[in-house]
Amino acid sequence: MCTYTKIKNALLGFLIITLSSAINAETYTEPATIKGVTLGAGYVRVRLHQMLDEGEFSPSEAECNAKSYYAIDTSSESGRLFYSTILSAKLTEAKISVQLHGCFQNGSNFYPKINHVYFCENKFCG
């Protein structure tokens, strides 16, 4: 295999990995207190005092059409744990940061989906 082909293949591989990482990237919020929580059948909506602006979402949440709340899918054990952490933070007025990935659908609304809750004062508990 010639050098040109090796370089071309290496660059192609790099681009594929880079683009797939960007597509699957998550979004993280800054630590904030919880402004509101609503309960629905199989999901919980969470509103922080400091919500993300439209341009701050990664591609996996950019397509969500209802960004005024973040959603937790409570059909799983991890979702129920996220919800209990949210309730605890709401009651104690503690700051949380959340990791968002993808959208949770409820009817025609697609909310950014919470898939990790940081129960601490600093982003990523650092």
Query: If you average pLDDT over residues 16-36, what whole number do you get?
Result: 72
Q: How far apart are CA 99 and CA 27, in angstroms?
A: 6
Are 97 and 29 a contacting pair, CB within 8 Å? yes
In what order do the strands lie in the sheet containing 109-118? Answer: 27-28, 97-106, 109-118, 70-73, 43-48, 34-40
**Tens digits of per-residue pLDDT, 47-59?**
999 999 999 999 9
Which pTM was predicted?
0.79
